[in-house]
Structures are given as structure tokens and as C-alpha cells.
């Protein structure tokens, strides 16, 4: 069987009634409209509908997928991103860091946990983490807003040795402050410090 030439195929396509109907639609400005809403710039390609799927079903599926992605992100990070707040333009806190109040809190916390505690090198790291977490939470409960809190806990065994603990920080001496307390019993010493740095 002889195949038609390329010129014959082009001539047949030009004489096709479908082509004439398409040209008439274009010239009259009538175009077939899509059943899906237009895509905003930057949203990427539009997903086509599967056979038997309506626009409402597609929108419901997209919403479910978005909610699922949010849940997955929440599980990965453990918390949602913080909401954006408007600037207050406030240069000073309403309530400053109260060092004597925080020092009393340190004394109470260390005495409650370490009064009968015997030094053990295996449990020291865990105890310092427990103490620092509790001190941080109790200091936050004082509602000292707009302050960044830094908690340091140092614990060691008492063997008639000399120990010197020092720290240095760059801050505003008018607004920033700190509180520290040292606890000792027969087997250990523990120094806890809380630094309150005002965050504008």
C-alpha cells in the first residue's frame, strides 16, 4: 500500500472542517473556557482532574493534603512557627529583672533538690539539667517579660580543693542583671546563675 506524501497530508489538514471551525472560534473571540479557576502567577502547574472527579472533590482533596503537610511539619519540629508581631517601639521594660527575688528562688530550688543528695559522677549531668530546667521555668513564671534568660548550673565534688567560677557578658548595666547562689553540703557544691538580658 502506497503511503500519502507529505504535501497531501498538509492539504488534507487544511481542508479539514475541524480546522475551519477552530479558526472561526478564534476570529470571533469565542474560546472554550476551562472548568477550573485560573492559576495565579508563581503557583506552578495546575493539577488535572481525574475521570469522575468534580471540582469540589479536587478542592477538598487539596485542602486535606495541605492540612496533612502542616501536621507533618508540626511533628517534625514540635512547634509551629511563631506569629509575626508588630513592633512596639518600647525601649525599656515595664518590669525589670528582680535579682533578689530570683536569688531567693535559686536558694529554694537548690536546697529542695540537693539537701540529701550525695555526689555521684554518673548522676551529676542529669541533675544539673533538671536543676537548670526547673530554675528556668520558675523564673519565667515571675512574668519578667521581654527578657532573655540564661541559666548556668555548675556542680562538683567537695574534696578540700579550691574552685573559682567566673563569667563575662556584654550588656546594658542599667536594664540587665543577674542572680547567683552557691549551695554546699558534705559531698558537693553547686553554683546556679540566672542572667536576665533585656531584648528590645
Domain ranges of the chain: 53-81, 99-198
Model pLDDT, residue 187: 92
Model pLDDT, residue 52: 60
What would the pLDDT profile of 31-85 be if each residue is shown by its tens digit?
A: 555 555 555 555 555 555 556 666 677 677 776 766 666 566 555 555 566 677 7
Residues in Cβ contact with 106 at an 8 Å cutoff, skipping those fewer than 6 apart: 135, 179, 180, 181, 192, 194
Please tell me whether the overall predicted TM-score, pTM, comes out greater than 0.75 for this model: no
Model pLDDT, residue 90: 79
What is 99-198's CATH topology? Ribosomal protein S3 C-terminal domain (3.30.1140)
Place of cell 480546522: 19
Backbone angles phi, psi at 109, to 5 degrees: -65, -45
Enumerate residue ranges in the chain where pLDDT < 50. none
Model pLDDT, residue 184: 93
Model pLDDT, residue 75: 54
CB 176 within 8 A of CB 196: yes
In a 13 Å sphere around the CA of 190, the CA atoms on its Cβ side amount to: 30
Amino acid at each position: 500500500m502506497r503511503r500519502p506524501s507529505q504535501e497531501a497530508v498538509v492539504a488534507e489538514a487544511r481542508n479539514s472542517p475541524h480546522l475551519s471551525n477552530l479558526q472561526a472560534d478564534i476570529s470571533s473571540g469565542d474560546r472554550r473556557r476551562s472548568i477550573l479557576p485560573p492559576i495565579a502567577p508563581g503557583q506552578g502547574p495546575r493539577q488535572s482532574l481525574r475521570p469522575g472527579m468534580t471540582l469540589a472533590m479536587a478542592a477538598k482533596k487539596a485542602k486535606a493534603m495541605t492540612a496533612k503537610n502542616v501536621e507533618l511539619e508540626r511533628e517534625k519540629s514540635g512547634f509551629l512557627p511563631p506569629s509575626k508581631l508588630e513592633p512596639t517601639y518600647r525601649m525599656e521594660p515595664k518590669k525589670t529583672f528582680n535579682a533578689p527575688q530570683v536569688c531567693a528562688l535559686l536558694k529554694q530550688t537548690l536546697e529542695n533538690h540537693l539537701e540529701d543528695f550525695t555526689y555521684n559522677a554518673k548522676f551529676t549531668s542529669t541533675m544539673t539539667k533538671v536543676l537548670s530546667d526547673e530554675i528556668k521555668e520558675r523564673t519565667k513564671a515571675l512574668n519578667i517579660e521581654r527578657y532573655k534568660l540564661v541559666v548556668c548550673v555548675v556542680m562538683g565534688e567537695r574534696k578540700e580543693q579550691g574552685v573559682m567560677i567566673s563569667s563575662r557578658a556584654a550588656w546594658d548595666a542599667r536594664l540587665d542583671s543577674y542572680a547567683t547562689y552557691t549551695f554546699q553540703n558534705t559531698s558537693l557544691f553547686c553554683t546556679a546563675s540566672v542572667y536576665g538580658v533585656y531584648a528590645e
